[in-house]
């Protein structure tokens, strides 16, 4: 087949021709839901845990109501469920005022369906959304979140029971979603490099280094002050002026009580959510990799191979950035 290029970028999915803005993403999701019954069934099952007959469903794009704004999508069968979807580009969640307006819309308030929900869709992980959405429910309507990653997974699973044409459409949607997601892919070799202090976290008997070496754990705030909103695949630790170890992140939890994951931490509820990582076996550089031009508590991203071959962490980070610019 011939190569199709739009605005300097190769087009791998028909949905790319619609665009990558919020409204474009919403149109793409709406079309896939309307054309692929298994995908529609899986999305509804995911958010309100009921089985539906897709033939009875209406999907409404950008419904206007005076003083209540415009919704992205409204989906209903007028008997068992009614949901409103608000889609956002990037790591953004709908604000409190927007959710309040949606919860008062006549269409959802007066509909007799017993299962109702307002659904946020964006790149935010479910863990991040659960921590930072303004409401869990509003005016007795549950507020939930689906990440683009989860939509991608639901589209992938729906292919199994879909027709050939529907399979092809879902593949196109998955390519499209893959292009608008910036989260780390499972196969990513990017490493998040952090500084480990010799001091102890407040009211803890272990030092930060002990927590990594003895407990094979590490924690940081979720998405605040420049910390990641999505867990990386790899994390590396530096202290004493050099790179010490690199670890694959085997798993993680999100919590406000660090004691539940690391018993030496105080048994208190923190103000914000934290990622707690379970670390894999240490990868130790075969040569000394000095810190380089990084301020004391500075955090850097670098590709795994560059950390193992460069002379400094700073150099590894710069090489990694250059690679991305050259692609």
88-108 b/e (C-beta count within 10 Å ≥ 16 → b): bbebebbeeebbebbbebebb
Going by C-beta distance under 8 Å and a sequence separation of 6 or more, which residues neighbour residue 279? 212, 216, 217, 218, 235, 247, 248, 249, 250
H or E, element range at 178:
helix 164-180
Q: Between 22-35 and 37-48, two packed helices, what is the crossing angle to 10 degrees?
A: 110
Per-residue pLDDT of the chain (327 residues; tens, 9 = 90+): 666 766 666 666 777 777 777 888 999 999 999 999 999 999 999 999 999 999 999 999 999 999 888 999 999 999 999 999 999 887 788 889 999 999 999 999 999 999 999 999 988 888 878 888 888 999 999 999 999 889 999 999 999 999 999 999 999 999 888 877 654 455 578 999 999 999 999 999 999 999 999 999 999 999 888 898 888 889 999 999 999 999 999 888 888 999 999 999 999 999 888 999 999 999 999 899 999 999 888 999 999 999 999 999 999 999 999 988 775
R_g of the chain computed on alpha carbons: 23
Whole-angstrom CA distances from 194 to 55, 107, 110 are 52, 49, 52
Q: How many CB atoms lie within 10 A of CB 41?
A: 20
pTM as predicted: 0.67
String of DSSP letters for 108-172: HHH---SEEEEEEEESS-HHHHHHH-S-SEETTEEEEEEEHHHHHHHHHHHGGGS-HHHHHHHHH
Whether the CB-CB separation of 122 and 88 falls below 8 Å is answered with yes
In angstroms, rounded to a whole number, what is the distance separating the alpha carbons of residues 102 and 74?
10
Phi-psi region of 218 (alpha: psi -120 to 50; beta: other; left: phi over 0): beta
Whether the CB-CB separation of 63 and 107 falls below 8 Å is answered with yes
In angstroms, rounded to a whole number, what is the distance separating the alpha carbons of residues 182 and 172?
18
- Please give the pLDDT value at position 11: 64
Domain 190-326 class, CATH top level: mainly beta
In angstroms, rounded to a whole number, what is the distance separating the alpha carbons of residues 317 and 39?
40
Both tokens of residue 149?
Answer: 């990653």
- Domain residue ranges in the chain: 5-180, 190-326
- Please give the pLDDT value at position 183: 43
How distant is the alpha carbon of residue 121 from its chain centre? 10
Going by C-beta distance under 8 Å and a sequence separation of 6 or more, which residues neighbour residue 323? 303
């Amino acid at each position: 087949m011939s190569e199709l290029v739009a605005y300097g970028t190769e087009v791998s999915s028909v949905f790319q021709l619609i665009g990558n803005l919020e409204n474009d993403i919403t149109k793409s999701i709406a079309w896939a839901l309307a054309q692929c019954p298994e995908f529609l069934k899986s999305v509804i099952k995911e958010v309100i845990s009921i089985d539906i007959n897709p033939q009875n469903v209406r999907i409404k794009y950008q419904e206007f109501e005076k003083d209540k704004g415009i919704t992205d999508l409204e989906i209903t069968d007028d008997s068992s469920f009614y949901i409103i979807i608000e889609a956002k580009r990037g790591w953004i969640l709908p604000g409190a005022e927007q959710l309040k307006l949606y919860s008062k819309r006549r269409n959802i308030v007066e509909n007799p369906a017993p299962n109702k929900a307002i659904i946020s869709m964006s790149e935010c992980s479910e863990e991040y959304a659960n921590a930072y959405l303004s409401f869990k429910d509003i005016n007795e309507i549950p507020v939930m979140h689906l990440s683009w990653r989860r939509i991608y997974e639901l589209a992938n699973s729906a292919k199994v029971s879909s027709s050939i044409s529907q399979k092809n459409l879902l593949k196109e949607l998955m390519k499209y979603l893959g292009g608008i997601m910036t989260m780390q892919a499972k196969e990513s070799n990017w490493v998040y490099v952090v500084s480990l202090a010799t001091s102890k976290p407040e009211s803890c008997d272990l030092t930060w280094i002990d927590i990594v070496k003895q407990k094979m754990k590490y924690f940081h705030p979720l998405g605040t002050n420049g910390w990641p909103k999505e867990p990386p695949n790899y994390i590396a630790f530096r202290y004493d002026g050099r790179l010490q170890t690199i670890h694959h992140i085997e798993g993680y939890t999100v919590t406000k009580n660090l004691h539940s994951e690391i018993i030496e931490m105080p048994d208190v509820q923190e103000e914000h959510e934290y990622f707690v990582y379970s670390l894999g076996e240490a990868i130790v550089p075969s040569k000394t990799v000095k810190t380089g031009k990084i301020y004391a508590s500075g955090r850097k991203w670098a590709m795994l191979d560059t950390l193992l071959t460069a002379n400094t962490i700073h150099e590894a980070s710069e090489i990694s950035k250059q690679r991305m610019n050259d692609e």
